[in-house]
Structure 1
Amino acid sequence: MDLDHARTVAVEAAEAAGALLLEGTRGAVGVRAKGGAGDVVTDLDLASEKLLLERILTAYPSHSVIAEESGLVGDAGGEWTWLVDPLDGTNNVAIGLSAFVVGVALCRDGLPVLGVVHDPVSAHTWSAVRGRGALSSEGVRLAPPYAPRPHGPLLAWTQGHGVSRDDATVRALKQALELNARRVLQLWAPLLSWAMLARGDIDGIVGYRAELVDLPAGALLAQEAGIEIRTFDGGPFEACIDTTPEQRSFVAAHPRAIPGLLALLH
């Protein structure tokens, strides 16, 4: 498997989907309810996903794909599985907020080996191949420095769609963050948060029972930029596709910032 070629396929597909999204958000966006928890889906989600699936499966017809809207395409448990988030930030688009990205990951035996995040608004793409570092679309290697802020860290928060409003753990975690962080961003676009962390724009991410489809691409991008990801008890964290929601809670930050972030939460 040529991962350089796979990166090219993923980047070109994500950027084509991004162009579709950017054009679509200039007009009226069709929005409808998705599930019973207040989530939504737009016509742009479906159009972007169709484009991504066609690009990926044309290049790799024997691979499987897990897509945000279509679910599993192909056989489960194969060696190569793609994860596709055609519009990360759907709720933002639905209210006219230009904060959304496209995410694509490739996993081998469940472990992410390639991650791509494309921001149509800024026209930037970030990609990573396991063991080879993370790059911007200009070819610049991402390596955010350790730079503590005087009034606490700037953090992002993400949680899974299935987390209930009255979850006691969520309330406790958010209270700890609000009391100790300089700012807590809730962007409704986790992959955008991961890109910001990999660039050094924010200091960390706290995730609680995160969604599967957007996690591997973002986590790999951050890890290859030098970010460390830990479970809430400080153990190792890996964004595998066979994890349950309960196994997808984490803190992510520069390695020197991880102890302080874990202490803040506890």
Structure 2
Amino acid sequence: MRTRKTLTPVDLAHARSVAVRAVEEAGTLLHPRSRGELVVRTKSSTGDVVTDLDLAAEELIVERIREVFPEHRIISEEAGLLDAADETWTWLVDPLDGTNNMAIGLSNYVVGIALCENGMPVVGAVHDPVRGETWSAVRDQGTRGPGGLIVTSPPRAEPHGAVLAWSQGYACRDDDVARALRVTLESRARRVLQLWAPLLAWVMLARGDIDGFVGYRAEAVDLPAGSLIAREAGLVVHDFDGFPFDDRFDRPHDRSFVAGHPRAIPELLDMVRAADRVTIAGLPG
């Protein structure tokens, strides 16, 4: 078993400022160029793509982190693991969350970074280049948005149901469980958004734009920053069994979750459990 080594303590407020600077600079790089001609290539059998802008934003972010924390590990969406001496601290970088959207001309994309201590996210930052807004959090110190510290209000009673976001990992496109979950959510919610930019969904949840977020086998790189921002805004995240979600990125599990205000969680869990009674055709089993 590999022994973790730690070299220096980290000032989390300073780490937040580094993360915010990095995502905002990456956003400044991305936004004006997103409307131009992109170099796009497929990077997996699931149809996921990467562009020249993903790589440029990634290079910029890694450089900004290395300038201040050269001893920290980095795991980035495109480059993978960039190892270093201090194994206690790991930065997770999603340089362009929503690449598939950008590639077809949709402006739903963000930049996200998390800093994890022994696998646990302690700093998160997400920047929306289109809106020019940044959201960031430090564990146990709250979430900051454009107007300062925020606390998400309880969901309003909606006679026609909740507005939810849905996300699934790229590896489960043909997954029967994912299909059953979507059928159930769409039959019981007012609207289900599939943004193909999970970090944007987390920010919308923290802002109070949507009532809940359901994820099935989420990707490890973009989840921690978003879940931390939501938690620190007063929201909660549970696994499908109803237990508090373990958001350590290096713990092997399927990373399925429901997230929302504490008052919304029972209904979200009820929807998830109802999916067990749904066949692929969307009929009761």
TM-score, length-scaled by structure 2: 0.90
| Alignment check: 8 A CA contact 2:35 2:105 kept | no
State the one-letter code of the partner of 1:38: G
* Match of residue 4 from structure 2: none
- 1:157-208, Cα deviation, whole Å (9 max, x unpaired): 001111132x111111111101100000000000000000001000111100
* Match of residue 42 from structure 1: 51
Asked if residue 123 in structure 1 is aligned to residue 132 in structure 2, the reply is yes
* Match of residue 281 from structure 2: none
Report matched runs for 1:122-161 at 5 Å.
122-161=131-170
State the one-letter code of the partner of 1:116: A
Asked if residue 185 in structure 1 is aligned to residue 193 in structure 2, the reply is yes
* Match of residue 11 from structure 2: 2
In structure 1, distance between residues paired with 2:85 and 2:245: 23
* Match of residue 256 from structure 2: 249
| Alignment check: 8 A CA contact 2:154 2:263 kept | no
Report matched runs for 1:224-243 at 5 Å.
224-243=232-251
In structure 1, distance between residues paired with 2:47 and 2:240: 27
Structure 2: runs of 5+ lacking an equivalent: 1-9, 274-285
Structure 1: runs of 5+ lacking an equivalent: none
Q: How far apart are 1:264 and its partner, in Å?
A: 1.8
In structure 2, distance between residues paired with 1:149 and 1:187: 22
Q: Of 96, 102, 107, which residue of structure 2 is paired with 1:87?
A: 96
Asked if residue 112 in structure 1 is aligned to residue 108 in structure 2, the reply is no
* Match of residue 20 from structure 2: 11
In structure 1, distance between residues paired with 2:86 and 2:164: 35
Q: How far apart are 1:68 and its partner, in Å?
A: 0.2
| Alignment check: 8 A CA contact 2:203 2:226 kept | yes
* Match of residue 205 from structure 1: 213
* Match of residue 223 from structure 2: 215
SS in 2 for 1:162: helix
| Alignment check: 8 A CA contact 1:32 1:41 kept | yes
Q: How far apart are 1:137 and its partner, in Å?
A: 2.9
| Alignment check: 8 A CA contact 2:72 2:85 kept | no
**CA distance 1:61–1:156, change in 2 (3 Å):** same
| Alignment check: 8 A CA contact 1:127 1:136 kept | yes
Q: How far apart are 1:77 and its partner, in Å?
A: 8.0
In structure 2, distance between residues paired with 1:25 and 1:189: 15
Larger CA deviation: 154-163 vs 143-152: 143-152
| Alignment check: 8 A CA contact 1:45 1:90 kept | yes
In structure 2, distance between residues paired with 1:77 and 1:233: 34
How well do the aligned residues superpose, as a CA RMSD in angstroms?
A: 1.2
SS in 1 for 2:81: strand
Q: How far apart are 1:37 and its partner, in Å?
A: 1.2
In structure 2, distance between residues paired with 1:158 and 1:75: 32
State the one-letter code of the partner of 1:263: D
SS in 2 for 1:78: strand
| Alignment check: 8 A CA contact 2:217 2:254 kept | yes
State the one-letter code of the partner of 2:234: G
Q: How far apart are 1:217 and its partner, in Å?
A: 0.1
Larger radius of gyration between Structure 1 and Structure 2: 2
What is the percent sequence identity of the aligned residues? 59
In structure 2, distance between residues paired with 1:142 and 1:94: 34
Q: How far apart are 1:76 and its partner, in Å?
A: 8.8
* Match of residue 271 from structure 2: 264
| Alignment check: 8 A CA contact 1:66 1:73 kept | yes
| Alignment check: 8 A CA contact 1:83 1:214 kept | yes
State the one-letter code of the partner of 1:255: P
In structure 1, distance between residues paired with 2:121 and 2:262: 20
Q: How far apart are 1:150 and its partner, in Å?
A: 1.4
